[in-house]
């Protein structure tokens, strides 16, 4: 069974299937610093994980897009402080042009529930 949560025309914020929750990419507030956008992404992810019946210690994979890889250390400082010790997910991080030029970070999460 597939369950879609917070579904609109274009996308769902969460899709659950067979014990796995797939979260839509989350962005911060346009114009914030990289660290603040990362914090905002994480806050949104935590709320979606809770809604999906999951939690940060059940994250399986994270895909992080940065508008500029020069921001890698700044994003990682926030990320590393948040990831539960002993529960680091498989992760990829790359550079991409994001939906708007004032977005600097987008995080995509897959988690067990």
When pLDDT is averaged across residues 31-45 and rounded to a whole number, the result is 97
Statement: the pTM of the whole predicted model exceeds 0.85: yes
In the structure, what pLDDT confidence band is assigned to residue 58 with cuts at 50, 70 and 90?
very high
Give DSSP secondary structure letters for 28-73.
Answer: --TTS-HHHHHHHHHHHHHHHHHHTT--GGGEEEEEEEES-GGGHH
pLDDT band at 43, cuts 50/70/90? very high
Give which of 71, 75, 73 is closest to 40, Cα–Cα: 75
All structural domains of the chain, each given as residue ranges with its CATH number in brackets, are 2-112 (3.30.1330.40)
- The CA radius of gyration of the chain, in Å to the nearest whole number, is 14
């Amino acid at each position: 069974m597939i369950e879609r949560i917070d579904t609109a025309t274009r996308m769902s914020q969460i899709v659950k299937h067979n014990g796995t929750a797939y979260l839509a990419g989350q962005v911060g507030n346009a114009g914030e610093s990289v660290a603040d956008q990362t914090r905002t992404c994480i806050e949104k992810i935590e709320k979606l994980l809770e809604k999906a019946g999951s939690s940060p210690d059940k994250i399986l994979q994270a895909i992080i897009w940065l508008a500029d890889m020069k921001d890698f250390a700044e994003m990682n400082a926030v990320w590393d402080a948040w990831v539960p010790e002993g529960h680091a997910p498989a992760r990829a991080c790359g550079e991409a042009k994001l939906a708007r030029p004032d977005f600097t970070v987008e995080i995509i999460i897959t988690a067990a529930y």
